[in-house]
Amino acid sequence: MRKITHVGIIGAGTMGAALTQKFAQEGFTVFMVDREDQFLDKGMENIRTVLTEGVERRIFTPEIMQEIINNIHTTKNLNDLKKCQIVIEAVFENKKIKEDLFSQVSDIIDSETILATNTSSFSVTELAKSVTYPERFLGLHFFYHAAKNRLVEVVKGNMTNDNTFNSCMWFMQQCGKDPITCKDAHGFVVNRFFVPWLNEAVRLFEENIAKPAEIDVVATRIFGCGMGPFALMNATGVPIAYHAQKTLEDTFGKFYRPAKTLKLQMEKNEPWNIPDCSNIDSSISMKISDRLLATTLFVCGQLLDEDVCTAGDINRGAGVGLKWRKNPIDCYHILGEQKATELVSTLASRWKVNIPKSVRSKYWKPDFIRHEINGNTGIITINRPEGMNAMNPTVIAQLADAFDELDNNKSLKNIVITAQGKAFVAGADIKFFIDHIKADTIPKIVDFTTAGQKLFTRIDKSKKKVVVVANGLALGGGLELALTADVIVALDKAVFAFPETGIGIYPGLGGTQRPIKRIGKGLTKYLIYTGQILSAQKALEIGLIDKIISWDELVSIVENLDSLEKKSATLPEKWLKLANYFENTTADSFFKEEIPDGMEKIIGKIRTKAPLAIQTVERLVNEYRGPISELDYLETIFRTGDALAGLQSVGKRPPEYKGC
């Protein structure tokens, strides 16, 4: 894979400027090219505006903002792109303009420089015909706002070679993007179902079934999105929606025909009028819901029929790119196969089109885990970035299948477990816990935890060398998974924590037991009682992990696993004092006795946690009977009022725990 240090962006418009900002933020030298100074100046103005907002929100310091600006070079000269290892085109959606540009740029840049298009409308394979050495050409379709939105669709053309594709997948992840892959098909993944969703909303309005405000309210409720279709079109531009839909019609036929009212609104070049909406008649709400769901499921069924992508890619596209909290796969399973089939059948009958074969439930299973073999090493990647890679029964089952397959492969010597996205694993799926507490089906939580315990024990006892590469947040169950490995490697931005006692529960997948082998009972209690977040550097300092690496080192590390060993840590004095204090202080004393000098902040933090959870952790750590002992108190803790209050408080103000 090619090492990338310099990035070229052609086009200083909304997308080009956002991409320039993103790559500059990640520390790359970026050349932003456009035809005229006024376009470059406007692009830099947009970048400075967004960065200034970041400073005001304390995302950046003024010094970091200046460093980002210093990484950007504006130019009207395409020859400056010679210094780049990847060049991304982000100009207006005009095929002739793009083809002429690629032909010109191909003769300037090195033959091994990756050339990518951000097109949302045209075939990557067709555009590649304008490129010299087309094997280094592919599609990288980003989403608004590209400096903030993590999604990118990586599209191989017929001539794209594996080195180009793999290098871009690697580079996108290095830059904090969540890539999904798809065939070179019009609309790719997200626009293929998202744009018809917008169009169907306009049809509902055109047919006098509902008003724009009513449609927006129902859509946000059904799909869990921040804005409804009309508000979204106003934000991104009605003409963009029309032209995208027209392109789909040209390829896929009459169902994709733009609504007449959408065409008229585009010609007027005006935003939609969306007055406030109060009460919506239930029958109208049902019609809106059925039509929008039918359209989304129909198109996603076609995507699966055509093998454009996987169900997991649809999940990730909606969740990461569109910020839908209820993505199409979720909606399908909420409806059930029978209702989903009825909705799609009604749509197919109305438009006289075929029902997708993939409307059956067996096709609507997201792939959260992927695995591959590299020499004598099996590599497992947890790939649920739309849910921060949080573990639920499906993730555990798929992880178990992948691990068992690799563990039983006699030709393999090592197994690497890592993840895609900004999290390694951000714990267990909180919604899963809440749903079962409310339904009084807590044994389901016990079953899930038992399955996780069994899997983690198999990983722990594997005769193969297991290495975890923590790429980001390793919280709760994520840290527990990491602790099953022989060696834990972390990227420099990774962080580690046990937040459970702050949400009314305790670690149940070995978190009260496996850390003891590495850091002792005292620091294990400290981490769980306080929920303290450790940087990778501090985790290394206390021996919780074994090595910190950069992205540039990752490939060589995976290819040289024999050199990795568990680190023996000598605790610095400050950590020794904490370890001794927590090993010799009872949990009850934190809530009842006066606070010793110098411990005000730490014990103040503990007093905000759930007392029963803290007491249970103390018992489990002191007894040290192995991970399976954590199952003994699981049902009891999940039946407490503190557990429900704590779990429901995630992302909100913490509750005052009552100890019951």
Give me the sign of the Cα torsion angle 180, 185, 186, 192: negative
State the DSSP H helix or E strand holding residue 114, giving kind and residue range, or none if neither. strand 114-117
Spot the catalytic one: 141, 186, 371, 436: 141
Cβ atoms of 368 and 393 closer than 8 Å: no
CA distances from 295 to 145, 208, 356, 627 (A): 26, 18, 12, 47
Q: Identify the active-site residue in 46, 71, 120, 471.
A: 120
Q: How many angstroms separate the CA atoms of 441 and 572, rounded?
A: 46
Q: Which of the residues 106, 123, 153, 414 is marked catalytic?
A: 153
Taking a C-beta distance cutoff of 8 angstroms, is the pair 466, 412 a contact? no
Quick check: is 6 catalytic?
no
Question: Is 141 tagged catalytic?
Answer: yes
Nearest to 201 by CA among 222, 216, 221: 216
Please state the length of the chain.
660
CB 610 within 8 A of CB 504: yes
Euclidean distance between CA atoms 268 and 254, whole angstroms: 24
- Residue 333 annotated in active site: no
Distance CA 100, CA 88 (A): 15
95, containing H or E segment: helix 95-106
- Whether the Cβ atoms of residue 265 and residue 241 lie closer than 8 Å to each other: no
Residue 200 CA to residue 292 CA, distance in Å, equals: 7
Question: Residue type at 658?
Answer: K
Decide if 145 is catalytic: no
Amino acid identity of 141?
Answer: H
- Alpha carbon separation from 329 to 150, 293, 399, 432 (Å, rounded): 20, 11, 20, 16
The β-bridge partners of 466 are: 415
Q: For tokens 């959260």, name the residue.
A: 368
Secondary structure E strands in 15-113: 29-33, 72-75, 86-89
Over 503-559, what HEC string results?
HCCCCCCCCCCHHHHHHHHHHHHHHHHHCCCEEHHHHHHHCCCCEEECHHHHHHHHH
Pick the catalytic residue from 121, 149, 191, 471.
Answer: 191
List active site positions. 120, 141, 153, 191
